[in-house]
Amino acid sequence: MATDFAVVLTTCADKAEAERIARRLVETRLAACVQMLPIESIYTWEGATESAHEILLLCKIKHADYAEVEAAIRAAHSYEVPEIVEVAIEQGAASYLAWIAAATR
């Protein structure tokens, strides 16, 4: 059974953009934590295969806040079509989930 929590994935063009989005989410208490990981992506865009160095954000949120999280990411994002994907947390350590609840709105 799913919990009331989720992880939102989004990729950013560079570290500065990633930090700006991460801080915005944490400081507004939409996310308890945002992890930033450097990645390399290969994808199709406008009919061509592209590749890019990006920063992947893993944002720990309350599922009920998803719409606000998506809006905050879109407002600060440089991509025309940013990846914004919510993955439900099916199970998790009770103490960690309680921390997410306490650290968010």
Q: What is the CATH number of the domain that holds 25?
A: 3.30.70.120
Domain that holds residue 14: 5-103
Report the predicted TM-score, pTM, of the whole model to 2 decimal places: 0.95
Q: Which two tokens stand for residue 64?
A: 């009920």
Contact assessment for residue 99 and residue 29, using Cβ atoms and an 8 Å cutoff? no
Provide the pLDDT for residue 69.
Answer: 98
| C-alpha torsion angle, residues 89, 94, 95, 98 (rounded to 10) | 70
* pLDDT per residue as tens digits for the range 20-70: 999 999 999 999 999 999 999 999 999 999 999 999 999 999 999 999 999
Amino acid at 95: S
Neighbouring residues of 66: CB distance < 8 A, sequence distance ≥ 6: 6, 8, 86
Domain count, the chain: 1
